[in-house]
Structure 1
C-alpha cells in the first residue's frame, strides 16, 4: 500500500498529490499557458462529464462523489482532470453489470450520510454525501460541497447529518 504522500505521476502523466482520500484534484492542475489551453480544447471533457452525469443520475450512485469532483473543473480542465474522467469511464466499463435492486418486502426507508473534512484544496470546504434506500435499492443520492467551511471533522459530520435529516423529512411526507 502506498503512503498518502506518494505521487501518482506514473498514473496520470502529471504530478498529482495524494492523500488517504485518493488523488487530489485542484485548480493548480488547470492549464496555465495558452499552449496548455489549446491542447485541452481538443479533448471532449464537458461532453464526457455530461454523459457520466446522466449515468450517475439514472442508475449509478456509486460514481456520485467522483462526478461531483470532476464537474467542478468544467470551465478549465487540465490533463489530470481528464485522466480522472477516463478512470471513471474505465470503472463503469468494468462494472457494467452493476444495477439497482429493490426488495419486495415491506417498504423500509433507510438513510446513510458521511462527510470528508476540507478536502477541496481550493475552497477548504468539505464534501457531504448521502443515500436513501427503499428496500435496499437507492432512491435518492447526492454528493455536494458543503455551503460553509467546517472548523473540524465533527462539524462537517454535523452539517452532513443535518442535510440528510432535511432530506429524510421531505421523503417521509
Structure 2
C-alpha cells in the first residue's frame, strides 16, 4: 500500500478538498494480490487502489468508455513480419499506466485508508485516473 500511495502522491493523482455542493462521490477500495514467479514462489505482493465503478454515472463521471485496442490478428501479423525481416523486438511495461492519465471531468472519491484528511468531510478530487474508473481506458 505504501508503494502505491507513494506513486499516487508523486503523480499528483488527487487534491484533498472539501466536497462542493451537489457533487457525488464515488468510493474506492484496496485490492490485494499475490504475484507468483514461474517457479510458483511468491514474487511480490501487490496493492492497488481502485474506484468502485458501480457508483459512476454516465454523463457525470464519464462520457465515453471505448478505448482503441489492437486486434490479436494485427499483433500476430506484426510479429510475423518482424520475424521474417530478422528485426529485434523489445517489450515495454509502463508501471502504473492508468495513473498517468489526466481527467477532464470532476470526479470525487472518498479519502482512502492510509491517508489522514485534516477534517472529516474532505474528499479527493481526482486529477489523474484510478484503476477501475470507467473512463480510465479511454483516457
Range of TM-score over shorter length: under 0.3
Higher relative contact order (CA 8 A, sep 6+): 2
Q: TM-score, normalised by structure 1?
A: 0.22
| Higher normalized strand content (fraction of residues) | 2
Give the TM-score of the pair, scaled to structure 2. Answer: 0.25
Greater helix fraction, Structure 1 or Structure 2? 1
